[in-house]
Amino acid sequence: MHLAFETLTAMSDGGTVVDRGLEGVVVGSTELSRVDGEAGRLTYRGFDIHDLAPNATFEEVCYLLLFGQLPNAYQLEDLRVRLAANRALPPAIVDWMRATPKDAPPMAVLRTMVSGLALFAPHVEDGVHPSNPRAAIHLIAKTPSIVAAWDRIRRGLEPIAPLPNLSTAANFLYMRSGRAPIPEAERALDTYLVLLADHSYNASTFAARVTASTRADIFGAATSAIATLEGDLHGGAPGKVMKMIREIGAPERAGAYVSELLARGERVMGMGHREYNVRDPRAQHLEAMAKVLAEASGTKWYAIARALEDAATVALAEAKPGRRIYANVEFYTAPTLYSLGLQPDEFTCMFACARMAGWTAHVLEQLRDNRLIRPRATYTGPQASPWIPLERRASGKSVATSAAAGS
Ligand code: COA
């Protein structure tokens, strides 16, 4: 815990304590999920991720998060039908993607199209969309369709219409390839979606809750969340993990690679977590899946990832003593999703498909007992600046021009 150091360095403005990064600060409550960073335990509404991963489907987890309990058979079928009925995209959204430059990053496309979905969703008179479970299901159902459609469009192929009888995971893979996936692939993706569905007040979920707390609607909150997920300190790491794995090329090169990376002052992507001081509990399930998929497809990605984790764990313990840096959820996401045929720049989109369940559930929870989230900052600028008329200001180059020129 480095709170004491952060706190010490952040005392200012008359002794006000500033917690940079809100590390360890409790800003709200939730019934949705609990992260125990010391024990390495994650639960959704009390259900341990180690029970959910091998047993639950993504649809059951969606129901659990949105409606507060595990569904019975009737409730599950009802949700399944409603998700399937909401998967098709408005034709204008598909046309918009067709008109988008093919080299546009998938996360930028996803963020834009999820925002665009609001234009075609029913709204009340003042233009606000009701934030309710119906809207949540709408977003959970359509997010994978956007990711699958963009995959095909950027490859110069026609998007494929969803199939109502398939699970979320199977339908996503079908919408990319036009073939129903093998059971192992469906199961792996389904488990991935279960594992990534919620994680308490992580940065993107917090962004969604902040947006919702202003009474902006659920589409705006989802768009904020996707934008926040994108960075590599949060959901943007797995593509870079895959880059490392590919650059390493063979398990025996992992040690030297990590040494060189740390010597350059870079971070090992997929390692470390703000909350977990032990290995991320989701990593063991993702690792098992990556291993199975690598064996089935005869690829070397799992073996390299395993060697990389071992090398990075040892090297980081030496380089950052006392920091307790271990594999996080993103680490084995990379070989798992790559083995399922996704490209590295799509990995974070897949994360968004799973987390849309958590984001929307958090938005609904926020609105049940809403209070505007509006923290304070200490002011560190000049105390009183007298007005300077334009003709008396110092001459010089435009700051904007200098900045653009890199000077
Ligand atoms: N590789 C190298 N050093 C790392 C590291 C990593 N993956 N993760 C943390 N550290 C080091 C930092 O450099 C820092 O060292 P310093 O004190 O000498 O400056 C120290 O550990 C603390 O890091 P900090 O960034 O303050 O901790 P945090 O709680 O904010 O870190 C992460 C959490 C996830 C941002 C961080 O571990 C990280 O950047 N990981 C790599 C990116 C990643 O996997 N993102 C996905 C997260 S799920």
Which value, in Å, is the radius of gyration of the alpha carbons in the chain? 23
Coil, helix or strand at residue 34: strand
pLDDT score of 35: 97
User: What are the beta bridge partners of residue 47?
Assistant: 44
Ligand 1 center from residue 273 Cα (angstroms)? 7
User: What are the beta bridge partners of residue 35?
Assistant: 42
pLDDT score of 191: 98
* Ligand 1 atom showing the smallest separation from residue 270 Cα: 44
* Ligand 1 atom showing the smallest separation from residue 328 Cα: 48
Ligand 1 center from residue 28 Cα (angstroms)? 24
Q: Is the Cα torsion angle 223, 335, 327, 240 positive or negative in sign? A: negative
Closest CA to 197 of 39, 362, 29: 362
pLDDT score of 399: 63
* Ligand 1 atom showing the smallest separation from residue 331 Cα: 44
Are 242 and 308 in contact, with CB atoms under 8 Å apart? no
Q: Whose CA is nearest to atom 34 of ligand 1?
A: 273
Domains and CATH numbers, the chain: 39-234+344-368 (1.10.580.10), 237-338 (1.10.230.10)
How far is 401 from 100, CA to CA, in rounded Å? 30
What tokens appear for 335 in the block?
């070989």
pLDDT score of 261: 97
pLDDT score of 401: 59
Are 40 and 276 in contact, with CB atoms under 8 Å apart? yes
How far is 100 from 116, CA to CA, in rounded Å? 13
Are 198 and 33 in contact, with CB atoms under 8 Å apart? yes
How far is 322 from 134, CA to CA, in rounded Å? 47
Instruction: Count CB neighbours of 255 within 10 A.
Output: 17
Ligand 1 center from residue 323 Cα (angstroms)? 9
Phi (first) and psi of residue 314, to 5 degrees: -65, -45
Cα dist from 141 to 106, 121, 256, 321, 330, whole Å = 18, 13, 44, 44, 23
How far is 272 from 328, CA to CA, in rounded Å? 6
* Ligand 1 atom showing the smallest separation from residue 271 Cα: 7
What tokens appear for 177 in the block?
């390839």
* Calculated CA dihedral for residues 230, 283, 167, 45, nearest 10 degrees: -90
Ligand 1 center from residue 83 Cα (angstroms)? 37
Coil, helix or strand at residue 47: strand
pLDDT score of 403: 52
Instruction: Count CB neighbours of 216 within 10 A.
Output: 18
Are 19 and 6 in contact, with CB atoms under 8 Å apart? yes
pLDDT tens per residue, the chain (407 residues)?
Answer: 344 434 434 454 556 788 889 988 999 999 999 999 999 999 999 999 999 999 999 999 999 999 999 999 999 999 999 999 999 999 999 999 999 999 999 999 999 999 999 999 887 777 778 899 999 999 999 999 999 999 999 999 999 999 999 999 999 999 999 999 999 999 999 999 999 999 999 999 999 999 999 999 999 999 999 999 999 999 999 999 999 999 999 999 999 999 999 999 999 999 999 999 999 999 999 999 999 999 988 999 999 999 999 999 999 999 999 999 999 999 999 999 999 999 999 999 999 999 999 999 999 999 999 999 999 999 999 999 999 999 999 988 776 655 554 43
Closest CA to 326 of 344, 310, 347, 337: 310
Catalytic residues: 273, 330
* Calculated CA dihedral for residues 210, 212, 213, 215, nearest 10 degrees: 140
pTM of the model: 0.93
Q: Which of 7, 279, 320 to mutate to test the pocket of ligand 1 (most atoms within 8 A of CB)?
A: 320
Q: Whose CA is nearest to atom 44 of ligand 1?
A: 270
Q: List all residues whose CB is within 6 A of at least one atom of ligand 1.
A: 232-234, 237, 267-274, 316, 320, 323, 325, 328-330
pLDDT score of 400: 60
Ligand 1 center from residue 272 Cα (angstroms)? 5
* Ligand 1 atom showing the smallest separation from residue 323 Cα: 21
Ligand 1 center from residue 274 Cα (angstroms)? 8
Q: Which residue has the tokens 């209070």?
A: 371
What tokens appear for 146 in the block?
């956007």
How far is 52 from 32, CA to CA, in rounded Å? 14
Q: Which of 274, 308, 318, 329 to mutate to test the pocket of ligand 1 (most atoms within 8 A of CB)?
A: 274
Q: Whose CA is nearest to atom 45 of ligand 1?
A: 233
Coil, helix or strand at residue 43: strand
